[in-house]
Amino acid sequence: MTRPRSRPPATAAGLPALQRRTSAVLVVSQILGGLGVAVGIALAPMLAAEVSGSEALSGLAPTASVVGTALLSLPLAALMTTRGRRAGLVLAYLIGALGGGLVVLATMLSSFPLLLLGMAAFGAGSLAGLQARFAAADLVGPERRGRAISTVVWATTIGSVLGPNISAPASRLFRGTPVPEAAGPYLCSGTAFLVAALVVALAMRPDPLLTARALAQEGPSGPPKRSLAAGIAAVRESPMARLALVTVAVSHTAMVSIMVMTPVDLGRHGAGLQLIGLVISGHIAGMYAFSPVMGWLADRFGRLAVIGLAVGLLSCAALLAGTAGPRHGQTAAGLFVLGLGWSAGMIAGSALLTDAVPRSAQAAVQGLSDLTMNAAAGIGGATAGVIVAQWGYGPLNAIGAALLLPVAALTLRRSLRRPGPAVG
């Protein structure tokens, strides 16, 4: 039996067509992956409470997913460094699908430890979505990198909006079967991950990272670097990379910390589940729907300008949400602006991070970035509940705004030292 013929290596002249095809593949896989993640994360706390028998343990399931995303970041980045984006994304989606299956098995066996293990593996689906934004930037120059990243981020909107809305129908599909209704959607999530893996495996040829590396001819950058130490060294050598890493981590941490406690604060002020759902939907729209605008701004006016915009938006969001009290409309506005600020920080920071390090170190640095942002957000999300319990929702927002001060200081310092070209 003969093996399928691979696509011929790309040339510089064929690069625009290859980038368009790669972007289309990433958009499709991102929709499928985002759908799977949204279905699973929406039900995680409820399923954890059901399996463990304790509402106090319900937050451990989404936390396990975040931890899994962080722990898998570096191994998958190392795989991408040597084998390319396709191998890393396919493996991430397959691990996510395995995690969905383990969640179902854990529910059938009423095993809480197995549930947490399954949710940790399920986090690989989120990691695939995060790494896809970097894959979109492999084949474009700095002048279009922000828009390339933002296109893939935007595709997440579709899955994120559809996911929670199909959870109930997905549960009913398994009525009368050995699979518990509450766990049924995780089989749907696993199927979405498997289809995403198949799309990437079959259609992402030639591999964008390996192609870009072959065409770059960056002699001084040396062989690909895959270790954590190499990623840390590359960031240490570049002030812009340090700023980018801090921007992504702080933007994500501030957003997660405020967002996870907003439903609690709304409930305390009399909001029902429908209103809470609308507020969170508006927040998700802010995160993803306007990402093409943020990408265009990052390419047109520079990464530093959009990072400054992110600091302003996130600070404004903290002020609006933190002082809203019973004014639900103000809370909704704050959460929408919070999503916009996250989008600006994530896209501009990701583009700047890719700009600032040699191509040979990009995958290692990108893995380090995802590890840092997810670890920081996990700590922030876990700490947020303690802060609200001790001091309240307003102080939580004030602390979230205070986290932005180092980003603002570093951005101002780099802007004054290097006005530079639009991309930086």
**Per-residue model confidence (pLDDT) at position 158:** 80
Scanning the structure block, which residue is given the tokens 């062989």?
223
Higher-confidence position of 119 and 178: 119
Residue 1, number of CB atoms within 10 A of its CB: 2
Mean pLDDT value across residues 298-302? 95
Scanning the structure block, which residue is given the tokens 């590359």?
234
Residue 424 pLDDT exceeds 60 = no
Scanning the structure block, which residue is given the tokens 């199927």?
191
Gap between the Cα atoms of 25 and 23, Å rounded: 5
**Per-residue model confidence (pLDDT) at position 167:** 65
**Per-residue model confidence (pLDDT) at position 284:** 83
Percent of the chain with pLDDT over 90: 47
Q: Is this structure's pTM higher than 0.95?
A: no
Mean pLDDT of the chain: 86
Higher-confidence position of 161 and 130: 130
88: its two tokens: 């890393």
Is the preceding omega at residue 358 within 30 degrees of 0, hence cis?
Answer: no
Scanning the structure block, which residue is given the tokens 């691979």?
6
Q: How confident is the model at residue 312 (pLDDT cuts 50, 70, 90)?
A: very high
Instruction: Tell me if 155 sits within 8 A of 27, measured CB to CB.
Output: yes
Q: How confident is the model at residue 2 (pLDDT cuts 50, 70, 90)?
A: very low
Give the N- to C-terminal CA distance of the chain in Å, as an integer: 51
Residue 328 pLDDT exceeds 60 = yes
157, HSE (Cβ side, Cα atoms, 13 Å): 19
Gap between the Cα atoms of 60 and 64, Å rounded: 6
Rounded to the nearest 5 degrees, what angle is found at the Cα of 347, between the Cα atoms of 343 and 350? 140
Task: Give the amino acid at 47.
Answer: L
**Per-residue model confidence (pLDDT) at position 38:** 77
Q: How confident is the model at residue 82 (pLDDT cuts 50, 70, 90)?
A: confident
**Per-residue model confidence (pLDDT) at position 352:** 96
